[in-house]
């Protein structure tokens, strides 16, 4: 369980870093949040055999997490843009503050995504949990972005 938590937290942090890079640094345009959620739920359905009621619940969980994370995602993007200016002007005080801001926003994302992961895991039946616990289920949201960054492995 501890290893799984470490992987979840690591995935969430990577998601925040990818988002913080902003548009233009990624290849192509990623799918919108609703499409990413749909892709994730489709992947989970294939791997775990989700029932229709679970698909509905998972979609709601991940959508709610996406909505809850918007402020933090925007904060990271804004802080990264400001960080670029601070670096160019050698404003070390701003660099320190912006680093703390990005860390705080990243922590918020980890919390939101981990709560969504827990809510998703709770809707699984025992057979699905067993499949989930023994398989490698990673984020399918494009560019590491996910409302819920479940990432399990042995």
User: What is the number of other CB atoms lying within 10 angstroms of the CB of residue 46?
Assistant: 9
Per-residue pLDDT, 134: 87
Question: Do residues 110 and 9 lie in contact, with contact meaning Cβ atoms separated by under 8 Å?
Answer: yes
| Structural domain for 112, as ranges | 2-134
Residue 122, in any domain of the structure: yes
Q: Per the domain annotation, does 153 fall within a domain?
A: no
150 occurs within a structural domain: no
Using DSSP's 3-state secondary structure scheme, residue 49 falls into coil
Domain count, the chain: 1
Q: What is the pLDDT of residues 72-94, one digit of tens each?
A: 999 999 999 999 999 999 999 99
Full DSSP string of 10-70: HHHHHHHHHHHT-TTSSSSPPPPHHHHHHHHHHHHHHHH---HHHHHHHHHHHHHHHHHHH
Asked whether residue 146 is assigned to any structural domain, the reply reads: no
Check whether 149 has a pLDDT greater than 50.
no
Q: What is the pLDDT of residues 84-138, one digit of tens each?
A: 999 999 999 999 999 999 999 999 999 999 999 999 999 999 999 999 988 766 4
Say which residue the tokens 């705080």 belong to.
104
Cα–Cα distance list, 67 to 56, 112, 115, 153 (Å): 16, 10, 13, 27
Q: Exposure of 37 by Cβ count < 10 A (0-12 exposed, 13-18 middle, 19+ buried)?
A: buried
Does any domain span residue 141?
no
In a domain, 98, yes or no: yes
């Amino acid at each position: 369980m501890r290893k799984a938590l470490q992987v979840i937290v690591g995935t969430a942090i990577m998601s925040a870093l990818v988002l913080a890079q902003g548009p233009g640094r990624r290849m192509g345009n990623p799918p919108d949040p609703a499409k990413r959620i749909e892709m994730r739920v489709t992947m989970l359905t294939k791997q775990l055999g989700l029932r229709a009621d679970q698909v509905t619940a998972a979609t709601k969980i991940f959508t709610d997490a996406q909505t809850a994370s918007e402020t933090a995602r925007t904060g990271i993007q804004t802080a990264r843009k400001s960080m670029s200016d601070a670096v160019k002007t050698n404003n070390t005080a701003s660099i320190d503050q912006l680093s703390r801001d990005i860390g705080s926003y990243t922590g918020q994302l980890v919390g939101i995504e981990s709560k969504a992961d827990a809510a998703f895991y709770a809707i699984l039946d025992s057979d699905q949990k067993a499949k989930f616990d023994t398989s490698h289920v990673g984020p399918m949201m494009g560019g590491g972005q996910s409302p819920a960054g479940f990432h399990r492995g042995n």
